[in-house]
Structure 1
Amino acid sequence: MALNSKRKAAAFVGIAAMSLVTAACGSGSDSGDGSDGTAADTKDYSKWCDLKSELTGKSVSIYTSIVTPEDASHKASYKAFEDCTGVTIKYEGDKDFEKNLPQRAQSGNLPDVAFIPQPGLLQTMVDTGKAIPATETVGKEVDQYFGESWRKYGSVDGTLYAAPLGANVKSYVWYSPKAFADKGYKVPTTWDELMTLTAKIAADDPAAKPWCAGFGSGTATGWPGTDWVEDVLLRTAGADTYDQWVAHKIPFNDAKVADALSKVGAILKDAKYTNGGFGAPSTIASTTFQDGGQPILKGKCYMHRQASFYASNWPEGTKVAEDGDVWAFYLPSVDTSTKPVLGGGEFVTTFRDAPEVKAFAAFLASPDWANAKAKATTGGGWVSANKGLDPNNLVSPIDQQSAKILADPAAVFRFDGSDMMPSAVGAGTFWSEMTNWIKGQDDKTTLDNIEKSWPTN
């Protein structure tokens, strides 16, 4: 799940991005037959500047879980589009977005555009009958710059509804390079090496802990625990089993899932190993995910498994680099021959059929927006899977590394499993039961409760 960072992005200079938008105005037109699973439309909405006479004075409303201060770079990245088209973008962030968006569909108070971070929630919104299929212009952008797997994540029953927006790599472990160097620790390259290192840290430094973690996230509390299970299952059972589990072709409480949860518990539920800087393992439930890794800077813990976007949660002035205050290594697999990567992202879903909305959706699917957003995110903590994104426009080393991982043909990428499950599970019982689990509930009860909650239709 892609949530909000804690570093304010500086203002973006719109002139640079304007040149990107102007260059994009020369792209080709759509045939408008809708044969690729998108909505047929005769107009090429990638020609934003050419639409200025039609769009000037219009507005587009956005609704998203991305709130202050991370929203600053988003707002700045739209300036070129606003200047080019005369459209005003109205931005609304909400920490309880996942809960409130379906309620707004029921009340008839939907935005023009929503940034949906879960394919499962996308399915829910399509089921309301209010979501509008993507235009053919957006479909072509997705096919050219994202590819088949990302199109699949933004589609429901073969129809593309939403183009990808941002992305993140979740298979990271944050640590202090200096602390590792001082102790002579090496970055592990296999799961066994990771567990050996965990045990060694616990023995070497009883005043600290090998790991720290936080599951707290308001109404979304528990989601970091789901990421742990997904990352480990992807490594121990493989991508095919992972896909079957996400699609409920095998039960949620399958033996392979139970094995993965047991391996997570061997770290998070062991009082010798967690929760550095906070207390007993049960404190993970009440520790926010934003605070979870901060004890690394105080020498109270050594490792924190969290996504690339966590880079923006370090205090102002923290150097995030291989030779810096903090850095992140790839969460190792069972061996070095495989490279599973868990990730997530948001998808641009539209709810109003209007030229200004279609043009804005096309802009967000383009490399022009991806590069504008990269330049606007001066504090780091953002990346996209858009193949047209120039990694040099990403100011943060961790973002550049994430972009390379997403583009690595050897990586086996899978989208966050809970984000693809029905929202009642993926954004419901999976979160709540992982919270109960870290408070002391046993593995079997946890998995059985989630399995029982899976919708029957």
Structure 2
Amino acid sequence: MRRPRLRTLGIVCVCLVLLAAGAVTGVRWVRDKGSVTLLANWSGGEKKQFDKVIEEFEQEQGIEVDYQGSSALSQVLAAGIASGSPPDVAVVPGPGELMTYADEGRLHRLDALFEVGRYDTFWAPEVEPRGSRKGRYWLPVKTGLKSMVWYSEMKAEQVAKSAHSPDSWCLAMESGATSGWPGTDWVEDILLQQTDAKTYGAWANGTLAWTHDHVRKAWSTWGELVGVGEPKRIDQALEDSFEKACTRRLEHLGSFRASHWMKKTDGEYVHSAAVIPEAAPLKRWEVSGDLAVMLNGTKEAKQLIRYLADPGTQLPAYTVNADAPVPGDSRTTRREIASTLRGLDGTLCWDASDAMPRVVRDAFHQAVLRYLISPETLDAELEALDRLRVANQGTTQLPVCG
């Protein structure tokens, strides 16, 4: 048998190399379907869980995710929009800031990207921004329960009595660019429990004055509970991070603190109405939510929204997708929280500051810090906030309570 000539072997080798290169190129072409930029702010265990979600999306879809994390999320998003280079998808806490962008025509409708019936209309409402089509402009990817008072070292019936001693409370305000929000949570929750959903919604939407007696009373009640104006205590509160472990008997923070308090043998929570003076008997819960929006309607961005809405995607707790399973751990606390967030135990109302325009919300954060130091300036703080309210009226009103 004749041996192939060297020239023939060389041609065959070159062809095989080209074919191999073509195969590799073909595989890359199949797997590399573009990229999507994502702006969000996750930390701790939730960040690890969300990283896993993104990794699985990249592997399944072949789409690279350029994740941009920032604790100054609102400022980064505003700067991106102003410069004409916003992220494709952003995950923003609360609907207030988003409603402003929807009114400006910055957001794309999501109606065709997820099954609307999977979400209660409270979480994914149909809104009609000025000059835009009526529709659903955000998708809840993570939710949190508030109106919670965590406690240990006592029985539930002893919590109310202990609450009247400021020394019983953990109080920490530091949170980087959003320092002060634990205080706004307090004021909001007290107003919600002392009045009703209609009054609370009017205040959040900017139609009830900050100088109204109900609002002023909420601030004063908070001040009495936590001991505003006490230099040593307040100085420490301004320095301490909200993530710091609580070493006292009571803490007014949301469901994200469950892991911390469940480490204690008797750690549990009661509804905040149990400790708020003159609280109404009906159960109303303040809630928060991280909402995904699409600022650039690319096919990659649409695919990411679809993936986040898939009930099989293991998002950080707690999801309100009706087709996603409720947490099934051995402790009932997480199941109770998840059920409440799905509207099974009272009325849900958005965190009021998250429903306000960004400039009002940011001023609210700063006002609570100043009030802690100098409670005698309360009237001046409320008057300044009310001027901001009037100056920023005009945004489409939100359904604040479900």
Matched, 1:422 2:357: yes
From 324, 327, 345, the counterpart of 1:392: 327
Matched, 1:338 2:282: yes
* Whole-angstrom distance in 1 between the partners of 2:325 and 2:128: 26
> Which SS does the other structure have where 2:150 is aligned?
strand
2:38–2:66 contact (8 Å) kept in structure 1:
yes
* 1:435-446 matches, cutoff 5 A: 435-441=369-375, 442-446=377-381
* 1:18-33 matches, cutoff 5 A: none
Residues 359 and 155 from structure 1, CA distance in 2 versus in 1: closer, same or farther, beyond 3 angstroms? farther
Matched, 1:187 2:134: no
Residues 422 and 402 from structure 1, CA distance in 2 versus in 1: closer, same or farther, beyond 3 angstroms? same
* Whole-angstrom distance in 1 between the partners of 2:330 and 2:88: 31
2:72–2:177 contact (8 Å) kept in structure 1:
yes
Residue 438 of structure 1 deviates from its aligned partner by 0.8
Residue 196 of structure 1 deviates from its aligned partner by 2.6
Partner of 1:351: 295
Deviations 1:350-398 (A, max 9, x none): 12222221121022123222xx125xxxxxxx31222222123568754
Amino acid of the structure 2 residue aligned with 1:309: F
Partner of 2:238: 285
Partner of 1:360: 304
Amino acid of the structure 2 residue aligned with 1:447: L
Residues 438 and 335 from structure 1, CA distance in 2 versus in 1: closer, same or farther, beyond 3 angstroms? closer
* Whole-angstrom distance in 2 between the partners of 1:259 and 1:339: 20
Partner of 1:307: 254
Matched, 1:129 2:108: no
* Whole-angstrom distance in 2 between the partners of 1:337 and 1:214: 28
Matched, 1:106 2:50: no
User: 229-238 vs 325-334, which deviates more?
Assistant: 325-334
* Whole-angstrom distance in 2 between the partners of 1:335 and 1:425: 26
> Which SS does the other structure have where 1:160 is aligned?
coil
> Which SS does the other structure have where 1:133 is aligned?
coil
Give the count of matched residue pairs: 358
Matched, 1:447 2:382: yes
Matched, 1:94 2:29: no
Partner of 1:21: none
> Which SS does the other structure have where 1:404 is aligned?
helix
1:64–1:114 contact (8 Å) kept in structure 2:
yes
* Whole-angstrom distance in 2 between the partners of 1:55 and 1:418: 42
* Whole-angstrom distance in 2 between the partners of 1:336 and 1:430: 25
Residues 343 and 137 from structure 1, CA distance in 2 versus in 1: closer, same or farther, beyond 3 angstroms? same
Deviations 1:186-226 (A, max 9, x none): 314xxxx7543334x67xxxxxx211111111111111111
Gaps of 5+ in 2: 1-28, 395-402
Identical positions, percent = 23
Residues 154 and 227 from structure 1, CA distance in 2 versus in 1: closer, same or farther, beyond 3 angstroms? farther
Residues 396 and 344 from structure 1, CA distance in 2 versus in 1: closer, same or farther, beyond 3 angstroms? farther
Matched, 1:164 2:140: yes
Residues 456 and 247 from structure 1, CA distance in 2 versus in 1: closer, same or farther, beyond 3 angstroms? closer
Residue 326 of structure 1 deviates from its aligned partner by 3.3
Calculate the aligned-residue CA RMSD, in Å.
2.8
Amino acid of the structure 1 residue aligned with 2:302: K
2:184–2:353 contact (8 Å) kept in structure 1:
yes
> Which SS does the other structure have where 1:151 is aligned?
coil
Partner of 1:250: 208
Matched, 1:198 2:163: yes
* Whole-angstrom distance in 1 between the partners of 2:141 and 2:257: 18
2:286–2:349 contact (8 Å) kept in structure 1:
yes
* Whole-angstrom distance in 2 between the partners of 1:160 and 1:450: 30
Residues 156 and 268 from structure 1, CA distance in 2 versus in 1: closer, same or farther, beyond 3 angstroms? farther
Per the normalisation by structure 2, the TM-score is 0.81
Residues 325 and 91 from structure 1, CA distance in 2 versus in 1: closer, same or farther, beyond 3 angstroms? farther
Gaps of 5+ in 1: 1-52, 181-185, 203-208, 375-381
* 1:4-153 matches, cutoff 5 A: 56-67=32-43, 70-138=46-114, 141=115, 143-152=116-125
